[in-house]
Every structure is written in structure tokens, then in C-alpha cells.
Chain A
Amino acid sequence: MIQPQSVGVVVPQRAHFAEPLPLRSGGTLPEYELVYETYGELNADRSNAVLVCHALSGSHHVAGHYADASNNTGWWDNLVGPGKPLDTRKFFVIGVNNLGGCHGSTGPISINPATGQPWGADFPFVTVEDWVAAQARLADRLGIARFAAIVGGSLGGMQALSWSLQYPERVANAVVIASAPKLTAQNIAFNEVARQAILSDPEFYGGHYYAHGVVPTRGLKLARMVGHITYLSDDAMGDKFGRSLRHGKAIYSYDVEFEIESYLRYQGDKFAGFFDANTYLLATKALDYFDPAFEHGGNLPAALARATADFLVVSFSTDWRFSPARSREIVYALLHNQRNVSYAEIESDAGHDSFLLDEAQYHALLTAYFDRIKV
């Protein structure tokens, strides 16, 4: 045992793919780039690779920091590094920005080779399955035939699950955290509110706002505010903000009065300052469309029959956006197929966001699971 450490300074890399990628939506990406980071060393057998899939607003920057921005720490830095649950002394860990993203991989802000202009709203719809197909090509490029594990939380968990169905022979372990086999109507409803906030912003310009030199920040901010409400639990929000008033009493104004208003506006502004609205639209649709059981008449056990990986499924007690019941659907469908599966429901008051935190029981379980993976 060593004290957990950072992976230190990391440098993003790019891979260009000239072979067109057929998409589930019927379109094709003629060529594309993926930006990615790696941590640790690929072993001689190429058997120790772990792919970390990001969620709605994540990126390839999973761990460590940049030389010129020491405070820009990776979004899952508490998971990945020497002495951390996903120990980079044992594993070669990869983070990839998904297609349609806004952190460097080909997406709506990239130039459409057909027009010489940014793709904008013309960027094709991408699905979880398309992301996985693109990740698989990156794995080919890196010489990784089979992953020791594919890990993800929320939308990232859907990618881990999809990997086990699209490329069962390439996944030894799938770690699916705070995720679901498909969204509920309520989940889709929240996504639709977020999308309408963006689509109805006058500065959206049908998705071609780049050409107008503006950004639909108001819509994007609102979208993020709605999202944030669903990532926290009622209790966590109550504990953190309660009904605290900035002025100590009501001042009868639409400016910030309650601290929760301040928090949501801050989170919304921060997000709208760096995230791309078209990417947000695409990613929420990818969430909505994900439903591997659909082509099996809604029969999830039938859909998961293809999976051969060992699974660890984890949920959090106060996560109402992706509730424990949704994780159990995955567990029972795997059980039906006699797959190796373990399931833990972690006590946490932090709601959906729990998967990004380092609650002791949660990280102890991940450590134990990753420790037992043979590479």
C-alpha cells in the first residue's frame, strides 16, 4: 500500500481516423479525430488496459493536470492514479472525448469538410453505440485487443454496458456505476426541458450560432441548472443550502435571495462558459436513445445474453436520476444469463453525483474489484 498519488502532468493526444464511421442515425462521419489521454504503461501482453467512459459533461481529461494549468484536474482524479482504486501502477488507463464532444474530438464546433464551416446543427446524431464503435477503433490503433475493464458512471456506464454487447470478446470486466439500461420517461422529460431551454434561446440560431459570433449561454445555463437539480438529492441540497437567505430576510426581488439560487446560477454560468450547446443537445439525445433491449422487444435479459464480461454494478441510495432500481434491472438481466455479476448499493446522501465522490465504502469496493482483476 502507498499513499494515493496524482498521475501528475498529463498531455492529451489525438488520433485521426480517415475511414468513415457509419452511424446508427443513418449518417456517416467521413473522417474524425479523437482526443484522448492515457495514464500508466501498457504492459507487454497488452492485457492491462482500462477504458474510462465519460458522462454527459465529461471529457478525456480523467486524471492528473496540465503543465500550464495545475488546477485543471481530471474529472475522476480520485479514482485513477498510483495507490488509487484504479491503480496506474497496475493498469494502463485511457480516457477519450466522445464524438460530438466539445473538448477536442470531432464535434459540432469542428469544421465540416463538405462546407468548410463548423458543423453546428448539421453534425449527425451520435449514439452510445457510435461512441463505443469509435472508441473501439482507438483501441485498435493503440493495439488493445481486449480491455481488462471498461468503467463508467451514468452515461459512461451505458457505454461500458454497450461495449459488453457490441464487442463482448473485447471486455473482460464491465464496471457500470450509477447507470441504467435505458432512461425513464421522467429522465427524458428532464432532458427535453434542458434541450428546449437551448433551442428556444434567440442566440441559438438553429444551431449555427458560431457563424453569428454568439453563444446561446442563457439556454445552456438553464439546461445545466435543471440538470444540477437532478444530480443532487433533496437531502443534500437541504443540508447544503436549506432556505438560507443571502440578505437574511426576504427582499422581494428576482435577484438572488435564496442561496440555492446563487448556487444554481453559478453552476449554470460556469458551465455555459466552456461547454458547447450543440454538444449538450447531442449528448442528451444519446442518453434518451440508449435502449439495448428495444430490438429485443423490450426484453433486457435477451439483450444482455450477448455479454460475456464479468460485471460490477454499483448504485447509490439517494440517486433518484438513476435510481438503484434501474441498476438492479441490469443485475437481474445478467443473473438470468448466468453471468458473473456483483452488485452494491452504496449509502450516500449525495444523489447521482455520488459516483464522482470518494465515499469510503464505494472506493473500497472498487479497489477490491480492480485488485482481483488479473492482467
Chain B
Amino acid sequence: MSYRYDYEVITQWIAPGEKVLDLGCGDGSLLKHLGEVRQVQGYGVENDPDKLLACTRNGVNVIQMDMEKGLAGIEDGFFDHVIMSLSLQAMHNTQGILVEMLRVAREAVVSFPNFGYWRHRQSILNGRMPVSESLPHQWFNTPNVRFFTISDFDALCEMNGIAVRERLAFDEGKLILDEPNFLASVAVYRLGRGN
């Protein structure tokens, strides 16, 4: 089972017994972890048959759905938290899914690789697309379709009236407090509906 350090941050934001929806849940390892340490009633969403199979093997609830089409069928405000861990950059309908996430849950937790990370910038300066721990694919086989920075995402939240309740940024697992848009490879956000 894969384990990613953003899981620890996400786990801290989840209270025991919550209803949690994990979009792009992969093999279900985060939900399994949250089930064990937070006793959540969790559901994953995937659209890849191999990942549905992996979730089933891991004993995690998983619902096949094409998230690009939204989350129709899930009731408003049903979940306490909806999570999208390192998947937002692989979706076309970025704004649509953020609206849907804050429709079905009280809070959304989103993590993504920071394209503005200094190593990524250095790679571009050297004339090549970045390949790193947080962006592990080559340009020709990456599942990612959106390349954005922490500052870009902050601006998008501002533009869409999404409240950033908390933001933590990391460089290979170490918390980054200064200049996260330059020094952090991954950011994890806790988002709510703005006023």
C-alpha cells in the first residue's frame, strides 16, 4: 500500500466518526488509514477499473464515477470532509469540481504538486519539463493536465469565493513556512465556502 506524507496532514483535519468522501482515491489506502485511526464512514470515487479492484481488495467502499461530470447524486452537505489528494492537477474541470466538492461537504481538503517549486523552475530554466518526487512522470506520459502553482491556486480560490481555512506546504515531507510558492513541492489546503 502506498503511503504519502500528505496523509498525516489530512488525518489531523478529520475528526473521529466523520463522513468522508475521497475523490480519486487510488487503491483506497488513505480511506483505509482514516478508517483505522479515525473510524470514518468513508467512500472513495474512482473511474479506473484497476483502482476499483484495488479498493475492493483493501476493503474500502468505492463508487465508480466520472468526476469530470460532477458529483450528481450526492446530496448537498452530506459529507463532513471531501478529499482530493494529489488528483486535482489531473482533472480538466478544475473549477467545476471545486464547486461540487464544497456542495457535497462542509470542508474540502485538496493537495497538489506545486509547479512553482524551485527545482521545477530550475528544470524549466534549463529547458526541460520538470520530473521530481511530486511530478514523477515525463511530459509525454503524465496523467496531469493542469500545471499550477500555490499562488495560482490562491488566486483561483479568491476569484471563486472559496475560503482558504488552512494551508500547509511541504518540501519532501518537511514543513515549509517561508516562501512556500518557491520552496515547497506539495501544498495541502483546507477549504470552505466563502461568504
Point out the residues of chain B lying under 8 angstroms from A368, CB to CB.
53, 56-57
Distance between Cα atoms of A253 and B58 in the complex (Å)? 59
Decide: A342 and B57 in contact? CB cutoff 8 A: no
| Interface residue ranges of B57-86 to A (CB < 8 Å) | 57, 59, 61-64, 73-75, 78
Q: Is B191 an interface residue (CB 8 A)?
A: no
Q: Is A195 an interface residue (CB 8 A)?
A: no
Q: Is B43 an interface residue (CB 8 A)?
A: yes
A311 closest partner in B (C-beta): B61
Point out the residues of chain B lying under 8 angstroms from A332, CB to CB.
73-74
B75 closest partner in A (C-beta): A336
Q: Shortest distance in angstroms between A324's beta carbon and chain B's nearest beta carbon?
A: 9
Q: How many residues of B contact A (CB 8 A)?
A: 18
Q: Is B19 an interface residue (CB 8 A)?
A: yes
Q: Is A331 an interface residue (CB 8 A)?
A: yes
Q: How many residues of A contact B (CB 8 A)?
A: 22
Decide: A338 and B56 in contact? CB cutoff 8 A: no
Assuming the contacts A335-B74, A336-B75, asked whether A342 and B19 have C-beta atoms less than 8 A apart, the reply is no
Assuming the contacts A335-B43, A372-B56, asked whether A341 and B49 have C-beta atoms less than 8 A apart, the reply is no
Could you say which of A331, A336, A365 contacts B56, with CB atoms under 8 Å apart? A365
Q: Is B144 an interface residue (CB 8 A)?
A: no
| Interface residue ranges of A344-368 to B (CB < 8 Å) | 344-347, 361, 364-365, 368
Decide: A372 and B59 in contact? CB cutoff 8 A: yes
Q: Is B55 an interface residue (CB 8 A)?
A: yes
A366 closest partner in B (C-beta): B56
Distance between Cα atoms of A304 and B105 in the complex (Å)? 23
Point out the residues of chain A lying under 8 angstroms from B49, CB to CB.
344, 346-347, 361, 365
Decide: A344 and B52 in contact? CB cutoff 8 A: yes
Main secondary structure of the interface of B (DSSP, over half): mixed
Could you say which of B41, B55, B62 contacts A338, with CB atoms under 8 Å apart? B41
Point out the residues of chain A lying under 8 angstroms from B62, CB to CB.
342-343
Q: Shortest distance in angstroms between B6's beta carbon and chain A's nearest beta carbon?
A: 24
Distance between Cα atoms of A371 and B57 in the complex (Å)? 8
Point out the residues of chain A lying under 8 angstroms from B75, CB to CB.
336
| Interface residue ranges of B14-65 to A (CB < 8 Å) | 19, 41, 43, 49, 52-53, 55-57, 59, 61-64
Residues of A participating in the B interface, judged by any CB pair closer than 8 Å: 312, 328, 331-332, 335-336, 338, 340-347, 361, 364-365, 368-369, 371-372
Contacts A/B (CB < 8 Å), 27 sampled = A328-B73, A331-B63, A332-B73, A332-B74, A335-B63, A335-B78, A336-B75, A340-B61, A341-B63, A342-B52, A342-B55, A342-B61, A342-B63, A343-B63, A343-B64, A344-B64, A345-B64, A346-B49, A361-B49, A365-B49, A365-B52, A365-B53, A365-B56, A368-B56, A368-B57, A369-B56, A372-B56
Across the A-B interface, give the 3 residue pairs with the lowest CB-CB distance, nearest first: A368-B56, A332-B73, A343-B63
Further 15 A-B residue pairs, CB within 8 A, beyond A336-B78, A338-B19, A342-B61? A312-B56, A331-B63, A335-B43, A336-B75, A341-B63, A342-B56, A342-B62, A343-B62, A343-B64, A361-B53, A365-B52, A365-B56, A368-B53, A369-B56, A371-B57
